[in-house]
Amino acid sequence: MKRIAILTGGGDAPGLNAVIRAAVKTAIQQYGCEVIGIRDGYDGFIDEQGIMPLWLEDVRGLLSRGGTILGAANRGNPFARKVIRGGTEIVVDVSEEIIKGIERLHLDALLVLGGDGTLHIAHELSHKGVPVIGVPKTIDNDIGGTDITFGFDTALAIATEAIDRLHTTAEAHHRVMILELMGRDAGFIALHAGVAGGADVILIPEIPFKFEAIVAKVRQRVENGTLFSIMAVSEGAKPAGGEKVYARGGDEVYVPRLGGISQVVGEYIEKQGFETRVTVLGHLQRGGTPTAFDRWLATRYGAAAVRVAAQGRFDRMVALRSGSVIDIPLGEAIAVPKRVDVHGDAVLTARNTGISFGDE
């Protein structure tokens, strides 16, 4: 193995830099291999300034740094790229250009640090002969085949702290406080933070809710003498028989952006006579320094990805299973997105401790 490249695709997540650091250190120190960083996801293969060498000094001090030194791009799907041709916006497939860009670099491996979308592209590229290894990144924790993705633990810590902070002001003002959390179609952040922060109601995409059931919970608390309530609401939550709420629609290039369900729920509760405020935590969940757990996981993933590359096994993804880092076929990892098990112990624990999912 002489030369490997690393790219970070999709939205950023805390721990990306820690993976890059571990991969660079392992590749150079263990295998005497040259490492190249690809800027702004797959775009870097076709941009003039898209390639940067990565040496040991480039990754010094990166463990605790959020974001990614390589840049990331949500528009980076090479199979559907919006470009302006003759003054008109059209969607083109630039994957052949990307593959040519990869071939020009004579890579022995390409480490792709990404979520669902980026890993799907990686899998398609591997069918075209690119030696790909995936590393599961996302605060949403929605990648199959792995117990956890890096970035999730940090988002969870930030979301839990937000719930803690809302608690004191909710209690002081006798209000219902709603916190909208990210996660796309997976409710892991809201579920875990809701349990860790002691929310009274958790709404997740996997369990459609009824407005009346939420209000019943708030009312019951008031009748029992507790004049405030805390709700952790996943951006992908939706009412039974209703639709998800989007801040912006999608198209063949961009995925639709969820957002706004907490406002809808908040207005309903307020109309029932309970003063309510809504907080949307947004990208605070993705920014800043990773937790110790995410640094630890990211470092293990980065080193493991290089070891798998050195063994010449491609179209694989590193994964955490029962505490051990292993590698699995990339196709298996992306086949079925991971969702909250509505009959699993996490949901059961929440119900046991009096948390309502707004469904009964």
Catalog residues that contact ligand F6P under the rule CB under 6 A. 11, 74, 115, 138-140, 182-184, 235, 257-258, 286
Name 258's bridge partners: 246
CA distance readout (Å), 294 to 15, 158, 324, 330: 6, 13, 15, 21
The nearer residue to ligand F6P, 78 or 187, going by C-beta atoms, is 187
Centre a 10 Å sphere on the Cβ of residue 147 and count the other Cβ atoms it contains: 13
Phi, psi of 233, rounded to the nearest 5 degrees:
-120, 125
In the complex, least distance from residue 205 CB atom to ligand F6P, rounded to whole angstroms: 11
In the complex, least distance from residue 115 CB atom to ligand F6P, rounded to whole angstroms: 6
The nearer residue to ligand F6P, 11 or 358, going by C-beta atoms, is 11
In the complex, least distance from residue 275 CB atom to ligand F6P, rounded to whole angstroms: 28
In the complex, least distance from residue 333 CB atom to ligand F6P, rounded to whole angstroms: 16
Q: Determine the Cα–Cα distance for residues 48 and 50; give it in Å rounded to an integer.
A: 6
Q: Any catalytic annotation for residue 185?
A: no
The nearer residue to ligand F6P, 326 or 337, going by C-beta atoms, is 337
The nearer residue to ligand F6P, 109 or 258, going by C-beta atoms, is 258
The nearer residue to ligand F6P, 76 or 358, going by C-beta atoms, is 76
The nearer residue to ligand F6P, 183 or 197, going by C-beta atoms, is 183
Of the candidates 210, 152, 209, 208, the residue with the CA atom closest to the CA atom of residue 181: 152
The nearer residue to ligand F6P, 74 or 272, going by C-beta atoms, is 74
In the complex, least distance from residue 264 CB atom to ligand F6P, rounded to whole angstroms: 17
In the complex, least distance from residue 117 CB atom to ligand F6P, rounded to whole angstroms: 9
Q: Determine the Cα–Cα distance for residues 315 and 279; give it in Å rounded to an integer.
A: 41
Do residues 89 and 82 lie in contact, with contact meaning Cβ atoms separated by under 8 Å? yes
In the complex, least distance from residue 38 CB atom to ligand F6P, rounded to whole angstroms: 20
Tokens 């390589």 label which residue? Answer: 70
Contacts 24+ apart (CB under 8 A), 325-329: 325/300, 325/301, 327/133, 328/145, 328/146
Q: Determine the Cα–Cα distance for residues 124 and 119; give it in Å rounded to an integer.
A: 9
Kind of pairing between the strands at 316-321 and 324-329: antiparallel
Please give the full DSSP string across 101-164, using - where no structure is assigned.
HHHHTT-SEEEEEE-HHHHHHHHHHHHTT--EEEEEB-TT---TTSS--BTHHHHHHHHHHHHH
Strand runs (DSSP E) across the chain, as ranges?
A: 3-8, 34-38, 51-53, 81-85, 88-92, 109-114, 132-136, 176-181, 201-203, 229-234, 246-248, 257-258, 276-280, 316-321, 324-329
Set 12, 40, 116, 140: catalytic member: 140
Residue nearest to ligand F6P (CB): 182
Catalytic residue list:
140
